[in-house]
């Protein structure tokens, strides 16, 4: 793991409305009451931290920004202490704006349709059971470290055609790029560089021996002029697929198990009514949405009547939008059979998560297989649940007894 | 006897969340990119009216219209 001792600490927050900080330990531990306080103050709040950053607090404000690609750019998708030069082809299409966005995204969509996910499902079920086999005899486990962590990383490795055994390496890069990098630019550069070198090796190998996997799909893709993508685009998209597909779903599965460990009635209902699973998964996605994206303000405009100025970032909190009581009745309750659920867990507008169908399938299979093998479980009172900080929120330590 | 329903997916609004296909597979199909369109001319067969409204109520992009004919 990287050296974290040199990372500057932020001063604690005393005024959330005018000085919020999504890396504050209280936000990481329990953000929901903080979002309620901010939402009660304004649909858009601002902090001078992170060189200036807005936070839309309502569903409508989040939707307005997500749909406005004229005033809000995706060229930076993580809010950090520093704001270095933007590199081209950082991770297309997530870091792309129109008109480059659509062709870059269309290349990635066909391998992630619901039908494509059905073909992948047996491998995911097998991964879940291999993981459960390793700890089921113990009567206890850290479900975040032993189960939820490895399902998405091994699945995306399988899709990309890289060794599932390299999982811990991928997780290390993601921790560097998504968490440690918020306060230390050098760690970001190092993580991206290590990842790029790894993929260069796999791309070169496929030039000699083509394979049938996502890396080859990207290498064989053609742009609208019939030309192959340049290496920087291929490597950028491969980095995106690895980064975006892992700790996001790790978090969503973990938060779902955390909820079910604490709510025996919901657990019993899911076992008794397996047909409820798809609706329940949507509700768990709404209530515990892991991903907060970012935008950069390019031109002055207003959001829900609030002025926003260029030079600032925007923390695009889909999780906060999904807890807006003006949009979701009983927003703070998990209602497993919620009928009307336009949640924004996978974003809204053109940047809808490419892997949403993959994430849903992984979550469904992971919860189904867990409930089949371990129907009764609870949080270990002797252990501590910890949550990841910043861009993606989910349990990183989840001690369970069964 | 209730009125006949017709559904339509606005292709400019649809972003491929695929909620409609999951909730009402008889009424919606997906293209090779995973974006949705109505099956046939969008006429809702008798008995599937609730599913049409359920799909509409779960589309995050508000891309689905349900109209009475």
- Reported as a single tens digit per residue, the pLDDT across A29-67 is 999 999 999 999 999 999 999 999 999 999 999 999 999
Q: Are A237 and A160 in contact (CB under 8 A)?
A: no
Phi and psi of A84, rounded to 5°?
-70, 175
Domain enclosing residue A62, as ranges = 26-401
Q: Are the Cβ atoms of B18 and A114 closer than 8 angstroms?
A: yes
- Residue A45, Cβ neighbours under 10 Å: how many? 22
Residue from B14, B20, B34 to probe the interface with A (highest A Cβ count within 10 Å): B34
Distance between CA atoms of residues A9 and A19, nearest Å: 15
Distance between CA atoms of residues A239 and A174, nearest Å: 10
- Residue A332, Cβ neighbours under 10 Å: how many? 11
Asked if pLDDT for residue A2 goes beyond 50, the answer is no
Asked if pLDDT for residue A80 goes beyond 90, the answer is no
Asked if pLDDT for residue B52 goes beyond 80, the answer is yes
DSSP helix/strand/coil, A395: strand
Distance between CA atoms of residues A129 and A334, nearest Å: 27
Q: Kindly state whether residue A1 falls inside one of the protein's structural domains.
A: no
ipTM confidence score: 0.96
**So what's the pLDDT on residue B2?**
62
When mean pLDDT is compared across A122-136, A183-197, A273-287, the lowest value belongs to A183-197
Complete DSSP assignment for A173-192: HHIIIIIGGGT-HHHHHHHH
Task: Choose among A112, A339, A348: nearest Cβ to B54.
Answer: A339
A199 token code pair: 């993929």
Quote the mean pLDDT of chain A.
94
Q: Kindly state whether residue A127 falls inside one of the protein's structural domains.
A: yes
Beta strands in A134-289 (DSSP E): 140-142
Whole-model pTM? Answer: 0.95
Indicate the pLDDT class of residue A186, thresholds 50, 70 and 90: confident
Give the count of Cβ contacts less than 8 A between chain A and B: 52
Q: Kindly state whether residue A19 falls inside one of the protein's structural domains.
A: no
Q: Are A107 and A92 in contact (CB under 8 A)?
A: no
Indicate the pLDDT class of residue A3, thresholds 50, 70 and 90: very low
Task: Choose among B15, B54, B57: nearest Cβ to A352.
Answer: B15
Question: Quick one: which H or E segment has residue A358?
Answer: helix A356-373
DSSP letter for A121, please: H
DSSP letter for A392, please: B
Query: From B53, which residue of chain A is nearest by alpha-carbon distance?
Result: A340
Those residues whose C-beta lies under 8 Å from the C-beta of residue A1, and which sit 6 or more positions away, are A172, A175
**So what's the pLDDT on residue A6?**
55
When mean pLDDT is compared across A208-212, B28-32, B49-53, the lowest value belongs to A208-212
CATH T-level assignment (fold) for domain B5-68: Alpha-Beta Plaits (3.30.70)
Asked if pLDDT for residue A299 goes beyond 90, the answer is yes
| pLDDT tens digits along A200-254 | 999 999 989 989 999 999 999 888 888 998 888 899 889 888 888 888 999 999 9
| pLDDT tens digits along A95-143 | 999 999 999 899 899 999 999 999 999 999 999 999 999 999 999 999 9
Distance between CA atoms of residues A9 and A4, nearest Å: 11
Q: Kindly state whether residue A362 falls inside one of the protein's structural domains.
A: yes
| pLDDT tens digits along A332-389 | 999 999 999 999 999 999 999 999 999 999 999 999 999 999 999 999 999 999 999 8
List all residues of chain A from 314 to 373 with a beta carbon under 8 Å from chain B. 339-344, 346, 348-350, 352, 356-357
Complete DSSP assignment for B8-34: EE-TTT-----HHHHH-TTTEEE-TTS
Residue from A109, A289, A322, A353 to probe the interface with B (highest B Cβ count within 10 Å): A109
**So what's the pLDDT on residue A1?**
40
Task: Choose among A113, A339, A346: nearest Cβ to B30.
Answer: A113
Distance between CA atoms of residues A235 and A171, nearest Å: 18
CATH number, domain at A352?
1.10.630.10
B13 touches chain A (CB under 8 A): no
Number of domains forming the structure of chain A = 1
Distance between CA atoms of residues A203 and A235, nearest Å: 9
A193 touches chain B (CB under 8 A): no
**So what's the pLDDT on residue A202?**
94
């Amino acid at each position: 793991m990287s050296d974290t001792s040199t990372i500057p600490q932020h001063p604690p927050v005393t005024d959330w409305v005018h000085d919020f900080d999504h890396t504050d330990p209280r936000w990481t531990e329990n953000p929901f009451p903080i979002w309620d306080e901010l939402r009660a103050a304004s649909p858009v709040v601002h902090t001078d931290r992170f060189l200036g950053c807005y936070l839309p607090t309502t569903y409508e404000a989040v939707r307005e920004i997500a749909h406005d690609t004229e005033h809000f750019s995706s060229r930076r998708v993580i809010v950090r202490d520093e704001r270095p030069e933007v590199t081209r082809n950082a991770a297309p299409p997530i870091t792309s704006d129109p008109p480059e966005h659509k062709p870059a995204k269309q290349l990635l969509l066909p391998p992630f349709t619901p039908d494509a996910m059905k073909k992948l499902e047996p491998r995911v079920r097998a991964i879940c059971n291999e993981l459960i086999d390793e700890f089921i005899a113990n009567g206890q486990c850290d479900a975040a470290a032993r189960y939820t962590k490895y399902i998405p990383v091994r699945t995306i490795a399988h899709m990309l055609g890289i060794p599932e055994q390299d999982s811990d390496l991928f997780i290390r890069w993601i921790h560097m790029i998504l968490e440690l990098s918020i306060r230390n630019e050098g760690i970001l550069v190092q993580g991206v560089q290590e990842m790029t070198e790894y993929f260069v090796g796999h791309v070169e190998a496929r030039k000699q021996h083509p394979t049938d996997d996502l890396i080859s799909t990207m290498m064989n893709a053609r742009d609208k002029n019939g030309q192959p993508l340049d290496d920087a685009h291929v490597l950028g998209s491969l980095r995106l697929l690895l980064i975006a597909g892992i700790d996001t779903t790790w978090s969503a599965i973990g938060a779902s198990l955390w909820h079910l460990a604490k709510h025996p009635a919901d657990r019993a209902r899911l076992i008794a009514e397996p047909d409820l699973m798809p609706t329940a998964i949507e509700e768990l996605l709404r209530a515990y949405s892991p991903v907060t994206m970012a935008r950069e303000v390019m031109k002055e405009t207003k959001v829900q009547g609030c002025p926003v100025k260029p030079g600032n970032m925007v923390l695009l909190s889909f999780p906060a939008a999904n807890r807006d009581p003006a949009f979701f009745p009983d927003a703070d309750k998990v209602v497993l059979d919620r009928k009307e659920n336009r949640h924004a867990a996978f974003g809204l507008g053109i940047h809808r998560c490419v892997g949403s169908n993959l994430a849903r399938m992984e979550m469904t299979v992971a919860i189904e297989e867990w409930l089949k093998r371990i129907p009764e479980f609870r949080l270990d009172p002797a252990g501590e649940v910890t949550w990841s900080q910043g861009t993606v929120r989910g349990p990183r330590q989840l001690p369970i007894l069964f | 006897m209730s009125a006949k329903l017709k559904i339509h997916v606005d292709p400019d609004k649809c972003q491929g969340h695929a909620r409609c296909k999951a909730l009402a597979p008889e009424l919606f199909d997906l293209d090779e990119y995973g974006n949705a369109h109505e099956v046939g001319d969008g006429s809702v067969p008798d008995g599937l009216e609730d599913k049409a409204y359920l799909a509409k109520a779960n589309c995050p992009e508000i891309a689905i219209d349900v109209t009475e004919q």
